[in-house]
Amino acid sequence: MLVTNLGLRPLSEYDGRPIYKVVAMCLEMSQLEETRALMEQDFQFVAQEKKACGGSVSVEIINRKFDKGRGVELICERLGVSRDDTVGFGDSMNDLEMIQTVGTSVCMGNGAKALKEIADLVCPPVDENGLFWAFEKLQLM
């Protein structure tokens, strides 16, 4: 089934609100070199592994002022909770800052190899009850 209306509007309708993240799909990362050169100072380019995207490259272009790690810090600050008492679950490189920030980091078994290497714990994939497994392992239930 071909989807013809993705809810995209012309740039002329852009109202000036801040942009926090844009997702781009391309065949090769090299196709974004010019865009990256122009925007890299303000935006982080996070590519997903090709195998996870059906042979194409999925790239999240994320405003450097906002990431999941900063989100964890702000929530901890607001609630008066130590970061040592936090647990973060991730599976892709857009979770890197969160995994580096939380007290206990968990990467899903189907997650990015680089994320698995730095996580405190790697659990089975979601479709193999990975969250249940990790919650039991960490005594969260």
One domain for residues 50 and 87: no
Helix or strand (DSSP H, E) at 57:
strand 57-63
Q: Quick one: 75 and 41 in the same domain? A: no
| Separation between Cα atoms, residue 123 and residue 110, nearest integer Å | 9
The verdict on 51 and 87 lying in the same domain is no
* Reported confidence tier of residue 137, pLDDT bands at 50, 70, 90: very high
What is the pLDDT at residue 11?
Answer: 80
Distance (Å) of CA 5 to CA 2, 12, 116: 9, 18, 37
49 and 110 co-located in one domain: no
Shared domain check, 72 and 46 = no
Is 8 within a domain? no
pLDDT (mean) for 72-76: 96
- Residue that terminates a domain, selected from 21, 39, 63: 63
Q: What pLDDT band is residue 23 in, cutting at 50, 70 and 90?
A: confident
Task: Say yes or no: 106 and 75 in one domain.
Answer: yes
Placement of tokens 């852009």 in the chain: 14
Sequence letter at residue 64:
R
Write down the H helix ranges in the chain: 33-39, 68-79, 96-101, 113-118, 130-137
Whether residues 129 and 72 share a domain: the answer is yes
For the chain, give the number of residues.
141
Structural domain including 107 reads 68-137
Domain count of the fold of the chain: 2
59 shares a domain with 73: no
- In the sheet that holds 43-47, the strands lie side by side as 21-26, 57-63, 43-47
86/30 same-domain check: no
Residue 27 has pLDDT above 70, yes or no: yes
Q: How far apart are CA 41 and CA 81, in angstroms?
A: 32
Reference 125, options 92, 85, 102; nearest CA is 92
Note whether 51 and 72 are same-domain residues: no
Same domain, 94 and 57: no
What's this model's pTM, rounded to 2 decimal places? 0.76
- Looking at the fold, whether 97 and 117 belong to one and the same domain comes out as yes
